[in-house]
Structure 1
C-alpha cells in the first residue's frame, strides 16, 4: 500500500485540470445563461424552505404540543423523525425548560437558519407554554445546490459545452472511471470478516510519476477497510460480551424468581459497602421487618445480640472465603429473640462481588433440643429417685421382715408390734413413691387420661380432710377448712384430688406437734383460689424457688422424721397447669408455708 503522506511525489489534482478545460471552453458562451438560471433556482429553494417552515407551523405544531402534554414519547419520536426528512432540515429538538427531551440530527455549529416554535397548550382556559420546538434548516443548502447545478446548466445550454463535456467524459473515463469501476468491484466483493488483499488499480506508475486523487482514494479505501475490519472484530466481541451479559442477567432474573418463593430467608450483600442488593419475602418475615422500612441495613445491624458479633462473622468470612453453617441468636424488630442457622457463600450479583446469605429459623429445633435435655434430666431424676428412695424403705422391709421370719417366735410381743409398724411405714412409703412415680411417668408419656368437667371444690377438700384426720391426730395437728360454698371448677376429679392430697400431706409432714393446717377456697373473678397453709417450719427463700423443679433435690425429712420422694410438688405443678391453672408458694422460715392454686370456674 502506498502512503500518500510519506515521501509522496508532487500532487497534481485531476479535478483542477478538468475545471480549467471546462472554464476555457464554456465561460464566454454560457456565462449570462448560467447566472440567470442559478439566480432563479436559488430563489426557488429559499421559497421552498419558507414553505417548509410554515408547513411545520400549520400541520405539526399542534400534534407535537398534544404529544408533549400527554408525555407520548413514541408519538413525539415519530413526528420529529418525520421533520428531519423535510428538505434542508438537519436538526429537530423538543426542549422543556432548557432541557432537551427529544432530538434527532446533528445540531449545527453555525446557525444558518434555526427556527424556534413555542409549544402552547390550553388547559382550563389558561394557555401554558410547555416547551419549544427547535428546527435547524441548512441555509447554505440552496447555495450549494446552485453550485451543484452549475455544471449541468452549462452543459445543457450550449453545444460547445456539450463537446467539452464529451471530451471531458472521455478523458475522465480514461483517467478515473475505469479505475472507479475496479474500485466498486473490489468494494462489492469485499468481505470484512475475512482476510483480503489490498486494492491495487495496476496503473502504469512509470507514466504517472505523481500521486493524484485515485491514489488517495485507493489508500483511503485500504486504510478504511483495515479500520472497518478491526472495528467489525471489536463489534463482534462487544456483541458476544453483551450476549453473555444478557444471558447472565436472564439467569439472575430466574434466580431471583426462584428465591422469591424460597422457604429459606435469602439475602445478597455487597462486599464493597455491605449494602443489601437483594432479599426475599421470607427474609423480611424472619426479622419481622415492616413493608415501609427502607433502611434495612440498619435493621439487620441491630439484630445482633452484640455489635461485635457482626464484625466477627464478616472477619471469619473474609478469612475463609465462605461460612458453611453456624447457629446464632438474633433479635427481630418486635424484640423477640430467635435462633438463626446461616450459610455464607461468595456470589457475583449484577456484576458486583457479593455474599449470598441463607437463613433458616431453627428456634423450634432449639426448643426441641432443650425439651429433650429436660426429658433426659427427668429420666436421670427418675433413676436417682428409684436408686435412692426405694433402697431405704426396701432395706427396712427386708430387715424387719427377716427378723420377724427368723426370730419371730423369740421376740417379745411389744418388739413384734414395733417391727410391724416399721414394716407398715416402709411399705406405705414405697406405695406413695410408686404412686407418684406412676402418675408422673403417665403424665410425661401423655398416657394419663383425664377429663375436664365440673368438680365441687368443697367435696374434694372434705374427702381429703377425712382421709388425713388420723394422720394429723398422731401429731396433734388441727385440720381446719374455710371453704366458700358451691364453688364449681372445670377440672379433672382425679387430678384435683391428687393435688389436694399431696399439698395436705406436705403440710402435715412439715408442721410440728400441736400445729395447724388450714384449707381455704374463694371465688375471685373467673377463678377459684384454693390455699393450703400451715404453721410449720417454713422454707428458705433460696429453696422456695426450686420446689417445683424435678431437676432439683428438694425433699427433706418432716418434723417427725417423715421421708419424701421429691416428686409431690413437681407433680402438683404439672397437674395444675394441664388443667389450665396456676400454683404458687409463699413461705417464711420458721413461720410456715402457704400454697395457692388457681383453677378456672365453671362458666355460668
Structure 2
C-alpha cells in the first residue's frame, strides 16, 4: 500500500514540476519574442491567465489523486483495523481455550485425587472388615475350644462328685484314690488349658506385645517334662531330653512354653505305650535353632495334617484347636511350625528365624 502511495506522490510531484517547467519555458519564449520585437518582455495577461488555468487543472488533477489516495488509505486502515481486531479475537479465543484446558485438567486431577482417596478409604474399610471377620473367627475358635477342651475334665469331675453324693459306698478306697489321682491330673490339664486360652485370647488383642528375652533351653525343657511327667507315666512313656546344641534362644518365654506344652501333650496322647518321646534342641543346615518333639505312634497322613493346621477338619473326637493355637503363637514369636509323620513316628518342630 505504501509503495503505491509513494508512486502516486511521485507522479503528482513530476506533474507539478512539468507544469512549472512548461510555464517557465513559455515565459522565456515570450520574453525573447517581445524583446526581439522591441516590445515589453512581460507576458500578456491573457497568456498568463491561460498558463495559470492550465496549472489549476493540474492542481485539480492532483487533488483528485490525493482524495483517491486518501480513500485508499482509509480503506487500508479499515482493513488493518479489521485484521487487528480479528487477531485480537483469535488471541482471546486461544487464551480462553488455554484456560478451559487448564480448568479441565485441574478438574481431572481433583477427581483423580478424590478417586485415590476414595480407593484408600475403601481399602481401609476392607481391612477393618477383614479384622472384624478375623475377630468373629477368633470368637468362634474360642467358643469351640471352650466347649470341647474344657468339657471333658469338668464332666469327669461332675460325674465323680454326683456318684459320691448318690451312692457313696459304691466305690472302694482304692477306686476313690485312683479317681482322685485322675481328677487331679484332669484338673491340672484343665488349668493348663485355661492358661492357654487366656494367653491365646490376649495374643488376639490389637495392643498385645511380646516380652522377648534370652530363654534358657535346658531349664525350659526340664520344666516342660516335669509338668507332663505324670501323664506320660500313666502310659509308661519315657520323656527323654537330648543334650541341646545351644543354650539360649531369644523369644517370649510364656508363648514358647505354651507352644511346646501343647506339642508335648499331643505327643504323649498319640504315642504308643511304653515308648520313648525324644525332645531335641538342635541347629539346622541354615544355622537356625529349632526344637523338635518325636514320638512313636500312628502315622498321620499329610492330607490330615494340612486339614488340622488350616482349620479345615475339626471334629468332636479330637482337640484340633491345640494345633491352631500352636500355629498362631508360633507366627507371633516369628517361628515356623512344621509337622512330619512317617511310619517310624511323628515329628513336630518349631524353627526360630
What is the TM-score when the length of structure 2 is the normalising length?
0.71
Aligned to 1:154: 18
- CA drift at 1:443: 0.9
Q: Structure 2 regions of 5+ residues with no counterpart?
A: 27-50
Aligned to 1:598: 351
- CA drift at 1:571: 2.4
Greater CA radius of gyration, 1 or 2? 2
1:548–1:569 contact (8 Å) kept in structure 2: yes
- CA drift at 1:477: 1.6
1:543–1:554 contact (8 Å) kept in structure 2: no
Aligned to 1:571: 325
Once residues 7 and 171 of structure 2 are traced to their aligned partners in structure 1, the CA distance between those partners, rounded to angstroms, is: 152
1:477–1:514 contact (8 Å) kept in structure 2: yes
Aligned to 1:433: 193
Once residues 232 and 573 of structure 1 are traced to their aligned partners in structure 2, the CA distance between those partners, rounded to angstroms, is: 83
2:314–2:321 contact (8 Å) kept in structure 1: no
Q: How does 1:83-482 map to 2 (within 5 A)?
A: 147=11, 149-159=13-23, 162-169=52-59, 241-252=93-104, 262=113, 341=119, 360=120, 366-409=126-169, 411-414=171-174, 416-417=176-177, 419-420=179-180, 423-424=183-184, 426-445=186-205, 450-482=210-242
1:393–1:430 contact (8 Å) kept in structure 2: yes
- CA drift at 1:405: 2.0
- CA drift at 1:531: 1.1
The alignment status of 1:544 with 2:305, answered yes or no, reads yes
Once residues 479 and 458 of structure 1 are traced to their aligned partners in structure 2, the CA distance between those partners, rounded to angstroms, is: 14
- How much is the aligned-residue C-alpha RMSD, in angstroms? 4.5
The total of aligned residue pairs comes to 323
The alignment status of 1:528 with 2:305, answered yes or no, reads no
SS of the aligned residue for 1:582 comes to strand
SS of the aligned residue for 1:501 comes to helix
Aligned to 2:34: none
Once residues 498 and 598 of structure 1 are traced to their aligned partners in structure 2, the CA distance between those partners, rounded to angstroms, is: 15
1:487–1:523 contact (8 Å) kept in structure 2: no
Once residues 12 and 105 of structure 2 are traced to their aligned partners in structure 1, the CA distance between those partners, rounded to angstroms, is: 57
SS of the aligned residue for 1:483 comes to coil
Once residues 133 and 270 of structure 2 are traced to their aligned partners in structure 1, the CA distance between those partners, rounded to angstroms, is: 32
- Specify which structure has the higher proportion of helix: 2
SS of the aligned residue for 1:384 comes to helix
Aligned to 2:269: 509
Q: For residues 364 and 473 of structure 1, do their structure 2 counterparts lie closer, same or farther at Cα, with a shift above 3 Å needed?
A: same
Q: For residues 443 and 232 of structure 1, do their structure 2 counterparts lie closer, same or farther at Cα, with a shift above 3 Å needed?
A: same
SS of the aligned residue for 2:236 comes to coil
Once residues 567 and 540 of structure 1 are traced to their aligned partners in structure 2, the CA distance between those partners, rounded to angstroms, is: 18
- Specify which structure has the higher proportion of strand: 1
| 1:295-344 deviation per Cα after TM superposition (whole angstroms, max 9, x unaligned) | xxxxxxxxxxxxxxxxxxxxxxxxxxxxxx8xxxxxxxxxxxxxxx4xxx
- CA drift at 1:154: 0.7
2:275–2:296 contact (8 Å) kept in structure 1: yes
1:481–1:519 contact (8 Å) kept in structure 2: yes
- CA drift at 1:380: 1.3
| 1:360-416 deviation per Cα after TM superposition (whole angstroms, max 9, x unaligned) | 596565445334322221211212232344344433332331221232245544554
1:540–1:587 contact (8 Å) kept in structure 2: yes
- CA drift at 1:517: 1.0
- CA drift at 1:164: 0.7
Once residues 575 and 171 of structure 1 are traced to their aligned partners in structure 2, the CA distance between those partners, rounded to angstroms, is: 117
Once residues 346 and 230 of structure 2 are traced to their aligned partners in structure 1, the CA distance between those partners, rounded to angstroms, is: 22
1:436–1:568 contact (8 Å) kept in structure 2: no
Higher relative contact order (Cα pairs below 8 Å, separated by 6+ residues): 2
Once residues 134 and 209 of structure 2 are traced to their aligned partners in structure 1, the CA distance between those partners, rounded to angstroms, is: 23
Q: Structure 1 regions of 5+ residues with no counterpart?
A: 1-86, 89-139, 188-216, 267-324, 326-340, 342-359, 558-562
1:437–1:567 contact (8 Å) kept in structure 2: no
- CA drift at 1:448: 5.8
Once residues 246 and 60 of structure 2 are traced to their aligned partners in structure 1, the CA distance between those partners, rounded to angstroms, is: 136
